[in-house]
Amino acid sequence: MMQLPLTVGSLLERAEKFFPKKQVVSRTLSGIHHLTYKEIGQRTRRLASSLEKLGVKKGDRVGTLAWNHHRHLEIYFAAPGIGAVLHTINLRLSPEHITYIINHAEDKMLFVDEDILPLIERVKDSLKTVKAYIIMTDQDKLPRTSLQPAYSYERLLESGDPKHPFIQNIDENDPAGMCYTSATTGNPKGVVYSHRGIVLHSFALGLADTTAISEKDTCMAVVPMFHVNAWGMPFAATWFGSKQVLPGPMFTPKHLAEFIQEEKVSVTAGVPTIWLGLLNELERGSYDTSSLRAILCGGSAAPTAMIQAFEQKYKIPFLHAYGMTETTPLATISTLKSYQKDLDEAEVITIRSKQGLIVPGLEMKVIAGDNEVKWDGKEMGELLIRGPWIANEYYKDERTKESFKDGWLYTGDVATVDEEGNVKLVDRTKDLVKSGGEWISSVDLENALMAHEAVFESSVVGVPHPQWQERPIACVVLKDSYKGKVNKQELLDFIAPQFAKWWLPDEIIFMDDIPKTSVGKFLKRELRSRLKNYYIEA
Ligand code: ADP
């Protein structure tokens, strides 16, 4: 067979050639822009040539601090298109972590959204390798900034070459992108994505039994483009010529619902807290969501009740998937097998709310000690994954040793596998509640609580206990219309039939808001720290 390298540049080339009329709809700070792939292609090539003129070379890291919009999409292809490395930076991390990440990756250029300028201006004196800043703004004039030298993105494009070729002589294993995980302890860890890994992952997103992204779709990535390449959606959607909607910096539930209705979005992707917010919005307002054929949800466990609400009340099919920064990220996805369609509703929803089957191309096993667990849906162990879009190390990081062993990625996630091969995540190792020598799944308790009609959000954490080591405490946010009308006992009675008595949370604490991580997951570390003296003081 021919050895043609798989390259990121070729993904956009296909869209330019075959889908020049298809659109990218992009919201920025000042409004909504409509661009065709022909325009995106020319702008990307202009940018690529300007980057070369500014001295960016093969292998150089190009950092971005940006929301989901067309300019960010253009850098997604311009940087790898000249052999440089697209380094998306999570702009919601602390200034210390952002500084660490930029210095550790040795970014040469930084692309910065106008509204992120103050954040970078604050840390600029600590950035050791950055040679230039490129500011993304809709305004003609560059905003006032202390970053030097600073270039206007649009001015750079004007002086660029719209026919600039993408690099050809490249090894498909060369780096194309990188992303740091938001570490819960210590510094963030960097993962490097190869051209080959990104292209193969894009193939995976197009499979009928995964997300089936195709030309017929209108794809809206709500998951930030700085969080594992918006789960690879921008790459796959461009390659397949799908229309794309990039919701920009203001992705409130209302804006998302409006985009779905107006742009007839068919596939959208995001973490559960985004969809809890959308569900709330759909309950309040009246929107036409009939165009949606899939809500792709991952990043943390999708509550069963939420899946049911979308599917039964709004007739919106829900796709629960699992992955990590280290897995590009799609690793498993929940789908029914053809012979399971006739199962009763309860069985179907049980399967649908698992994380599902490993996607074609990857391999997995779940081990307890040295042995693989039984596929009985009960025995728990650590999930291990390997395959062509799974990282094999952390970038220049000693912690590689802990997570990559014998050719496998040790995910740090505890899971069971059922008879059909479906993975169900019990918890992250560190989130399992260890009570009296037994394990309690915080995810299962959260799921059960979020099935109550009054509960908007719930997060359960293990709190140090003098006798039991840890006990579960539930933090709950009630829906506005139920505030003050539901008490702890009602919620405990509601979930009690599903659990052994000792699993039930000792306490339910009502809150106005549950703290979230930089990518919208419940911030359990913060809850644990707030509650750490709960039993000591009691
Ligand atoms: P971060 O570490 O910043 O949260 P990642 O996106 O890499 O960023 O997090 C990956 C982790 O998220 C996984 O190891 C797993 O614990 C959790 N996760 C991802 N998808 C799911 C899911 N569908 N259900 C439960 N947990 C999930």
Rounded distance between C-alpha atoms, residue 476 and residue 492, angstroms:
12
Task: Say yes or no to pLDDT of 301 above 70.
Answer: yes
pLDDT tens digits for range 337-382: 999 989 999 999 999 999 999 999 999 999 999 999 999 999 999 9
Residue 74 lies in a domain: no
pLDDT tens digits for range 249-276: 999 999 999 999 999 999 999 999 999 9
Instruction: Give mean pLDDT, residues 62-75.
Output: 98
Rounded distance between C-alpha atoms, residue 278 and residue 245, angstroms:
17
Rounded distance between C-alpha atoms, residue 478 and residue 511, angstroms:
8
Q: How far is the CA of 325 from the centre of ligand 1 (A)?
A: 8
Task: Say yes or no to pLDDT of 88 above 70.
Answer: yes
| Closest CA to ligand 1's atom 24 | 301
pLDDT band, residue 328 (cuts 50/70/90): very high
Residue 84 lies in a domain: no
Give the residue, out of 225, 295, 324, with the most ligand 1 atoms within 8 A of its beta carbon, to mutate for a pocket test.
324
Question: What atom in ligand 1 is closest to the CA of residue 355?
Answer: 23
Task: Say yes or no to pLDDT of 419 above 70.
Answer: yes
Q: How far is the CA of 271 from the centre of ligand 1 (A)?
A: 9
| Closest CA to ligand 1's atom 11 | 324
pTM beyond 0.85: the answer is yes
Residues 438, 422, single domain; the answer is no
Residues 395, 469, single domain; the answer is no
Of the three residues 399, 428, 457, the one that is the final residue of a domain is 428
Cross-strand pairs, 510: 476
pLDDT band, residue 518 (cuts 50/70/90): confident
Radius of gyration of the chain (CA): 23
Residue 345 lies in a domain: no
Task: Find out whether 62 and 79 touch, Cβ atoms under 8 Å.
Answer: yes
pLDDT the model gives residue 186: 80
Q: CB count, 10 Å around CB of 210?
A: 22
CB of residue 425 inside a 6 A radius of ligand 1: yes
Give the residue, out of 101, 182, 322, 402, with the most ligand 1 atoms within 8 A of its beta carbon, to mutate for a pocket test.
322
Of the three residues 409, 428, 447, the one that is the final residue of a domain is 428
Residues 466, 530, single domain; the answer is yes
Residues 412, 498, single domain; the answer is no
CB of residue 411 inside a 6 A radius of ligand 1: yes
CB of residue 322 inside a 6 A radius of ligand 1: yes
Structure tokens at 522: 């419940």
Q: How far is the CA of 427 from the centre of ligand 1 (A)?
A: 10
| Closest CA to ligand 1's atom 16 | 428
CB of residue 330 inside a 6 A radius of ligand 1: no
Task: Find out whether 273 and 520 touch, Cβ atoms under 8 Å.
Answer: yes
Task: Say yes or no to pLDDT of 182 above 80.
Answer: no
Domain count, the chain: 2
Rounded distance between C-alpha atoms, residue 449 and residue 461, angstroms:
13
Of the three residues 386, 411, 428, the one that is the final residue of a domain is 428
Task: Say yes or no to pLDDT of 169 above 70.
Answer: yes
Task: Say yes or no to pLDDT of 467 above 80.
Answer: yes
Hey, which of 84-88, 282-286, 441-445 has the most confident mean pLDDT?
84-88
Q: How far is the CA of 324 from the centre of ligand 1 (A)?
A: 5
pLDDT the model gives residue 430: 86
**DSSP sequence for 458-483:** EEEEEEEETTTEEEEEEEEEE-GGGT
Q: How far is the CA of 322 from the centre of ligand 1 (A)?
A: 7
CATH number, position 421:
2.30.38.10
Residues 474, 389, single domain; the answer is no
pLDDT the model gives residue 538: 64
| Closest CA to ligand 1's atom 5 | 324
Task: Say yes or no to pLDDT of 209 above 90.
Answer: yes
| Closest CA to ligand 1's atom 8 | 181
pLDDT the model gives residue 536: 78
- What residues act catalytically? 181, 326, 434, 439
Residue 349 lies in a domain: no
Residue 52 lies in a domain: no
Task: Say yes or no to pLDDT of 64 above 80.
Answer: yes
| Closest CA to ligand 1's atom 3 | 182
Q: How far is the CA of 182 from the centre of ligand 1 (A)?
A: 11
Q: CB count, 10 Å around CB of 499?
A: 16
Residues 437, 530, single domain; the answer is yes
CB of residue 273 inside a 6 A radius of ligand 1: no
Rounded distance between C-alpha atoms, residue 508 and residue 254, angstroms:
30
Residues 386, 465, single domain; the answer is no
Residue 382 lies in a domain: yes
Structure tokens at 13: 């080339």
| Residue percentage of the chain with pLDDT more than 70 | 99
Residues 444, 408, single domain; the answer is no
Residues 393, 470, single domain; the answer is no
Rounded distance between C-alpha atoms, residue 52 and residue 46, angstroms:
10
φ/ψ of residue 430, rounded to 5: -80, -10
Residue 394 lies in a domain: yes
Residues 422, 444, single domain; the answer is no
Domain residues for the domain of 461 are 433-537
pLDDT the model gives residue 348: 93
CB of residue 181 inside a 6 A radius of ligand 1: yes
Average pLDDT, the chain: 95
CATH number, position 507:
3.30.300.30
For 304, the enclosing helix (H) or strand (E) is helix 304-308
Structure tokens at 4: 């043609």
Residues 444, 413, single domain; the answer is no
Residues 441, 521, single domain; the answer is yes
Cross-strand pairs, 244: 24, 219
Residue 291 lies in a domain: no
The dihedral through the CA atoms of 159, 162, 163, 169 has a sign that is: positive
